Amino acid sequence: MISFSQVQKKDIPVLAKIYAKAFNKEWESWTPKKSNEIIEYRYSKKIKIKVLYKNSIVWAFFSDIKPLYMWNVLNDGDVFIDPDFQNLWIGRWLFVYGIQYAKKKFNAVWRDFYTFKNSYQYKRYKSMWFAPSDKRVLMSGNIDTVLKKIKEKHTKQKK
């Protein structure tokens, strides 16, 4: 009925369609080209698991493993499920499978990820006992603006 296996290169177009379908349903707007680029990037990760249900891909888990301090961390991950299979609790069960796989195969101890505080993912992950870190924060900036401000500051310091 349900089987787990490694994502293959030939799965990328199918996974890209599922990715766009899953995230476009919520609040994002992924084009087929952009979602294909995302999945090609995800394919480079150490962990790339797909789930087949009745011989069709319905879910995927991608993540890298990053050595950090004293342990390995699941990092730069992505988990998504076909919207036709959402809200059936299988997504959480499959997520557990992915984490257990990372623990067994790569001795992963921690999982880091970024999400928006006002998103459904934030609430969902909080309900699974993930907590916002008080030690680390995602900082983000437009590269053109950053370069402009650095140049302005450097010019002022020279005067």
C-beta contacts of 121-124 below 8 A and 24+ residues apart: none
Per-residue pLDDT of the chain (159 residues; tens, 9 = 90+): 788 999 999 999 999 999 999 888 666 688 889 999 999 999 999 999 999 988 899 999 998 898 877 788 887 888 888 988 887 777 777 778 888 898 899 888 876 665 666 666 666 666 666 666 676 666 666 778 878 888 888 787 776
Q: What is the pLDDT of residue 147?
A: 81
For residue range 62-85, what is the model confidence (pLDDT) as tens digits? 988 988 777 888 878 888 889 888
- What's the CA gap between 113 and 130, in Å, rounded? 10
Question: Mapping DSSP to helix (H, G, I), strand (E, B) and coil, where does residue 106 land?
Answer: helix
Tell me the pTM.
0.73
Q: Tokens 């997520």: give the residue.
A: 95
For residue range 133-148, what is the model confidence (pLDDT) as tens digits? 676 666 666 778 878 8
Q: What is the pLDDT of residue 13?
A: 96
Domains, in order of start, for the chain: 2-132 (3.40.630.30)
- What's the CA gap between 133 and 66, in Å, rounded? 17
Q: What is the pLDDT of residue 34?
A: 92
Which of these, 64, 96, 67, lies nearest to 78 by C-alpha position?
Answer: 64
Question: Mapping DSSP to helix (H, G, I), strand (E, B) and coil, where does residue 102 land?
Answer: helix
- What's the CA gap between 69 and 2, in Å, rounded? 36
Give the CA dihedral 35, 27, 142, 80, nearest 10 degrees: -40
Q: What is the pLDDT of residue 36?
A: 94
Q: What is the pLDDT of residue 139?
A: 64
Q: What is the pLDDT of residue 67?
A: 87
Which two structure tokens, joined as six digits, stand for 25? 């349903």
The two beta strands, 47-53 and 56-68, are antiparallel
